[in-house]
Chains A and B, each alone.
Chain A
Amino acid sequence: MMDTSNVPTGPRENPELEEISPPMTVVGPVAWLRANLFSSPFNTLLTILAVLFLAWVVPPFIRWAFIDATWTFPQEVIEGVRGPNRGDCTASGACWIFIQARIGQFLFGFYPADERWRVVLVFILTFGAVTGMLIERIPFKKQNAIFLFLILPILSFWLLLGGLGLEVVSTRLWGGFMLTLVIACVGIVLALPLGILLALGRRSDLPVVHLLSVMLIEFVRGVPLITVLFMANVMLPLFLPPGTTIDPLLRILVGFTVFTAAYLAEVVRGGLQAIGRGQYEGAASLGLGYWSMMRLIILPQALRISIPAIVNTINGAFMDTTLVAVVGLYDFLNIVRTGSRDANWIGTEIDGFVFCAAIYWICCYGMSRYSISLERKLDTGHKKR
């Protein structure tokens, strides 16, 4: 048993005793290491394995991507004596000048160089409007929404496609990251309202509407996106009245929109199911009809709950845009892949794909972080009440 009579109850009572910090085995980095990395023999073994794995993977990657990589063109290329090629890069490092040499094509596809400012303008406007919507502190949400969903689509359509004083740029020339963004944005903007309608249809009391919505949603969700794109590509022209033609990009947009809408519908349905009966009954007792009830009471709440899941679905849709290469569109991935097949750039496949992966990763990781932060914000809102 410990004799407690001599133990001081605090540093103040015995000024001769210095204040002693807790032992190193309890706090501080050593303690942290012991608790988190070496708490048991098995844990120590795991730590050693993990360190070995990191030592095996990380240094070679850094050497390849940064130290041994080629970042600048050789002098002859800068002077314009000849074009760059794979031979200008070190054999053991990444060939980043391949990306530099082709960046215009990777971003804009075959869009004429003199007209690319139009794409940049559309991008800046969209980016600005979307940022304004996403960040809560920025005011003018209503005006912004009207601009984003009504004015901007028409404006972008005119700017990108041309006509009315601008040079017409056929969609066959569209490509690269721009095409990826166009497909993703158009698909998502059109799929949202369609998805909400389908979700409402699936929750409807009217058997015919319910059945039709369920059939469409389950059919689309049951088949792979590639087959939907195939179908849109080869069957849409057949289904139109004889003599009509339909732009290949438009076919893909139709397929992509319907596909995304089916997935969004299920997400929105989840939100709708989370709304209590009391809300419906309350709205009905106020004398609201079906559409006013949905528009004013139910949907604002349901959509708010499902925003994180909607962002996740949008994220998935963004990644799915890579599949449009199957019908011969030159989206970002496809144009990088085509670029590395160029005779001057044989052997740049890995460099191209790593660049692609990095760009996609930044976009998707950003979106998923945004969805997580939203989820947290909405979550605390619920708990406070």
Chain B
Amino acid sequence: MADIAKPGRHDRQAATAWWRDERIRGLIAQAITLLIVVGAIVFLIHNMIVNREAQGRPFSYSFMDNIAGFPLSMSLIPVDLNSTITRIMVAGMLNTMVAGVASIILATIVGFLIGVMRLSPNYLISRLAAVYIEVFRNIPLLVQLCFWYFGVLKLVPNQKNSLNLLDAFFLNVRGFYLPRPLPQTGFGWIIAALAVGIVGALLLRRWSRQRQMATGERFPVLWTGIALVVGLPVLAWLAVAMIYGTPLNWEYPVLKGFNFQGGIVLLPELTALVIGLSIYTAAYIGEIVRGGIQAVSHGQTEAALALGLRRSWTLRLVIIPQALRVIVPPLTSQYLNILKNSTLAVFVGYPDFVSVFTGTVLNQTGREVEVVIITMIFYLAISLTISLFMNWYNKHIALVER
């Protein structure tokens, strides 16, 4: 019986040693990781504070109220040499938004066009789209941007010899000039009519959908909707024109001395940035659109046609909704890419947020840490907002599983 004596020792051998327990090992690994990371961060920040104090510039955001003292070549809010750094920063943020939104719109249009062309049964058209995609996707964006800005837009004629379209649009080295709309008395009525038209069209659509669900009768929503949205403002326009005179005047750009006066001017920097960003991103969007449409199986088209749906309805009711589900998530990341790539404005001298704030303000004030923190927060916030919106939209159109 001596063999089975000392049961305690036997137990101890069977149980796993505590340092082999997976949970405990996990805890230890995490503790070590945390220690290393926190230690590194503390070390780095400590160095930063010591370095900054040695240079006599302790961490502080008080410089934001200082006067920036440099002008911006473009700004949506009025800024001058006496504007504070905060105001200049906001102007830069708005400029980033302008470039980003314009590029997103243009890239989406061109990209969808290229994607559809790529799938065209016409050999030439689909080859052209393929060449477009392969060329512009495989050349760095910055090379393209430099090409458009330093290569093309810097070589257009000077102010005296501007390229002239209808005496209203002018292109020269100083930028692209457009007429400026000047709303006159009563213009508000036209806007109001437009709003009423849009709301009316939306209500009409809801009503017709409910009626179709209940009775099966269809109502020509599209045409009546267009009539409402276009017709009401036109009527309002005519009415205002009869009562007050013309509701909208145009201010045309005119060459006075060495420069154009009046009108709206798009800086060549902005033009090059928007052209470059849209052409580059459109190549990616084209591929996404092509992939999305091809992802809808041909059986869906056949089934829809077999049900007697018209070609146009098949496209609108069957193909596009399903293709969008595939298209939207990668499209979101392309929009985010446009936003991030708009920082290449630095290279062409367009006063976007990074160029104004992370570039000039940082150089002037020497407040690296403060400036970089604000920059990061700005981009993270926008990225997050676009992602959230697109996730919401994606959920909205996602497959409803029953």
Residues of chain A touching chain B, judged by Cβ–Cβ distance below 8 Å, are: 36-37, 39, 43, 46-47, 50-51, 53-54, 205-209, 212, 219, 222-227, 230-231, 234-235, 237-242, 315, 319-320, 322-323, 325-326, 333, 337, 340, 349-350, 353-354, 356-357, 360-361, 364-365, 368
Contact = CB atoms under 8 A, between A and B. Distances in A.
7 A-B pairs closest in CB distance? A364-B138, A224-B340, A319-B140, A208-B30, A36-B123, A234-B368, A322-B142
Nearest to A318: B140
11 contacts: A36-B123, A46-B120, A46-B125, A50-B125, A54-B124, A223-B380, A224-B340, A227-B354, A230-B354, A235-B372, A322-B142
A235 B151 contact: no
Nearest to B127: A50
Given A54-B124, A235-B372, A238-B48, 8 more contacts: A36-B121, A47-B125, A50-B122, A234-B368, A325-B142, A357-B143, A360-B143, A365-B134
Contact of B50 (A207, A242, A340): A242
B124 A337 contact: no
Contacts of B140: 319-320, 322, 333, 360, 364
B15 to A, nearest CB: 18
A198 to B, nearest CB: 13
B143 A47 contact: no
B113 interface: no
A133 to B, nearest CB: 22
Nearest to A241: B47
Contacts of A207: 30
Interface in B317-368: 339-341, 343-344, 346-347, 354, 358, 362, 368
Contacts of B87: none
B340 to A, nearest CB: 4
A52 to B, nearest CB: 11
B244 interface: no
A195 to B, nearest CB: 18
Interface residues of B, number: 58
Nearest to B387: A222
A208 B27 CA distance: 9
B47 to A, nearest CB: 5
A206 B54 contact: no
A49 B121 CA distance: 15
Contacts of B102: none
Contacts of B379: 222-224, 227
B150 A337 contact: yes
A206 B139 contact: no
Contact of A333 (B121, B143, B384): B143
Contacts of B372: 227, 230-231, 234-235
A30 to B, nearest CB: 14
Contact of A360 (B52, B138, B341): B138
B165 interface: no
B384 A222 contact: yes
A254 to B, nearest CB: 13
B281 interface: no
Nearest to B34: A208
Contacts of B26: 205-206
A212 B34 CA distance: 9
B380 A240 contact: no
Contact of A39 (B34, B37, B121, B362): B121
A353 B344 contact: no
A44 to B, nearest CB: 9
A64 to B, nearest CB: 12
Nearest to A337: B146
A337 B152 CA distance: 14
A91 B26 CA distance: 71
A365 B54 CA distance: 50
A223 B125 contact: no
A238 B368 contact: yes
B351 to A, nearest CB: 15
A225 B340 contact: yes
Contacts of A219: 376, 380
A357 B147 contact: yes
Given A235-B368, A242-B54, A323 B142 contact: yes
B248 interface: no
Contact of B47 (A43, A208, A224, A238): A238
Looking at B45, B50, B122, B384, the one whose CB has the most chain A CB atoms below 10 A away is: B122
Contacts of B50: 242
B147 to A, nearest CB: 4
Given A206-B29, A209-B33, A238 B52 contact: yes
